[in-house]
Amino acid sequence: MELHIAKDPAQLSENLAAWISNYILEVLQDQPRFSFVLSGGSTPKALYLLLAKAPYNTIIPWERIDFFWGDERAVPFEDSRNNALMAYNTLLDHVPVKPEQIFVMKTDIDPVESAAQYEKQLEHYFRGQSRTFDLVLLGMGDDGHTLSLFPGTEVVHEQNKWVTAFWLPAQDMYRITLTAPVVNKAACIVFMATGDAKALTLKNVIEGEFNPDVYPSQQIRPKGGELHWFVDEAAASAMD
């Protein structure tokens, strides 16, 4: 695990945009395409806006990148809570990508069927490969959740399915999410975390005992891949 600490959220986004750009260019020297899992939530917005502008909108070979999502709320695409909508508004509508490069989690069909379809898409995309995604971008909530792996939910311990859907009573909605097994097969996983509200949780996730029912982000442990945490000073303030 590698920890990258920035002064503030703005500096973190700038540092991570440069890091992602360099990583994409490096990986694409050895293979034709790059698979990138986007994160929802508020933290990545500034990052996406940076990637959509110079110099990244021209130096990154966007036509060679395939986009996926880590999780989705089962709300219409036009709903402001939809993770895909946020990514389109901040990034995908502003860089040269074609529809066939974008793999959204469908929210206009039954969530369980949507999860099953997404898993089939992933199995087809990664057939014959030992690894899955080239890069998975994740956030961490104040409660230690990542993806739609929330504290105390059964999906935290999913070992077989790559994608699943479940009803989350606390939010009165279905969530569709990648699971730990498919994410842990990725070549590289990057967490983003900012703000002092996450400081104690971040300390427990990274330095504390393994307790994924309380801190589901601990389930993200790549099997042979890289793990990076990009955090700001406020989020890192409780760490030893």
d(CA 133, CA 117): 17
- How would you classify the pairing of strands 65-69 and 163-168? unpaired
Distance from CA of residue 150 to its chain's centroid?
Answer: 15
Residue 39 lies in a domain: yes
Among residues 5, 23, 57, 7, the alpha carbon closest in space to that of 186 is found at 23
Residue 235 lies in a domain: no
Residue 102 lies in a domain: yes
Question: Which CATH number do you get for residue 102?
Answer: 3.40.50.1360
* Cis preceding linkage at 55, omega within 30: yes
The per-residue pLDDT for 133 is 99
Residue 42 lies in a domain: yes
The per-residue pLDDT for 42 is 85
Q: The whole model's pTM is what? A: 0.97
168 has which bridge partners?
A: 173
The alpha carbon torsion through 120, 121, 126, 127 (nearest 10 deg) reads 50
Total number of domains constituting the chain = 1
Query: Could you tell me the residue range of the domain that residue 201 belongs to?
Result: 19-51+63-224
Which run of H or of E encompasses 20? helix 9-27
Tokens of 206: 């990274």
pLDDT in tens, the chain (240 residues): 999 999 999 999 999 999 999 999 999 999 999 999 999 988 899 999 999 999 999 999 999 999 999 999 999 999 999 999 999 999 999 999 999 999 999 999 999 999 999 999 999 999 999 999 999 999 999 999 999 999 999 999 999 999 999 999 989 999 999 999 999 999 999 999 999 999 999 999 999 999 999 999 999 999 999 999 999 999 999 998
Secondary structure tally for the chain: helices H, strands E: 7, 9
Residue 236 lies in a domain: no
Look up residue 122 and give its amino acid: L
Hey, is 67 helix, strand or coil?
strand
d(CA 104, CA 87): 10
Hey, is 210 helix, strand or coil?
coil
Tokens of 80: 């402001």
Question: 92: which DSSP letter?
Answer: G
Residue 1 lies in a domain: no
Residue 4 lies in a domain: no
Residue 134 lies in a domain: yes
d(CA 138, CA 57): 22
Q: Give φ, ψ of 87 to 5 degrees.
A: -70, -40
Among residues 207, 196, 180, the alpha carbon closest in space to that of 231 is found at 196
